[in-house]
């Protein structure tokens, strides 16, 4: 696992994902996602009242550690502006770490349409010919 000294806990991640409009996940699933992530890059700001810090942005990576990296859960709270700048900071930090520790891996991700222009600045390309991702959700 790559080092991330500021790795958030599952409750903070779940709260951020819900605030960013993503479907609610069980804490157990978020715990597993964080445990299985090779790298988590997070963005924090001082909490109201000056007590601690609040999670305001996140992106995480999983990898087979040889050929492929998948990026997940790219999100920044809407009230953190300019949003594109903070998406840029998260992605820049993630990609620098991946180039250092997992050089040569191809990187893929699914994201919201509004983030595509910022990601294109890093060399990401939208799927050609309207290819859409599919996922199978296994219920335990």
The residue extents of the domains of the chain are 10-123
CATH number of 10-123: 3.40.630.30
d(CA 140, CA 68): 26
The pLDDT assigned to 137 comes to 58
pLDDT at 136 over 50: yes
**Tens of pLDDT along 14-57?**
999 999 999 889 999 999 999 999 999 999 988 777 777 889 99
The pLDDT assigned to 13 comes to 96
- If one compares 49 and 98, the residue with the highest pLDDT of the two is 98
pLDDT at 63 over 70: yes
């Amino acid at each position: 696992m790559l080092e991330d000294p500021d790795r958030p806990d599952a409750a903070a991640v779940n709260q951020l994902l819900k605030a960013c409009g993503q479907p609610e996940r069980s804490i157990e699933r978020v715990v597993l996602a964080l445990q299985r992530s090779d790298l988590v890059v997070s963005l924090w700001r001082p909490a109201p009242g000056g007590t601690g810090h609040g999670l305001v942005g996140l992106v995480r990576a999983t990898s087979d550690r040889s050929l492929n990296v998948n990026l997940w859960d790219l999100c920044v709270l809407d009230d953190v502006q300019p949003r594109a700048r903070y998406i840029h900071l998260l992605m820049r930090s993630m990609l620098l770490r991946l180039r250092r520790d997992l050089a040569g891996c191809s990187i893929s991700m699914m994201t919201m349409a509004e983030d595509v222009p910022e990601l294109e600045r890093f060399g990401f390309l939208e799927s050609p010919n309207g290819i859409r991702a599919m996922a199978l959700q296994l219920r335990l």
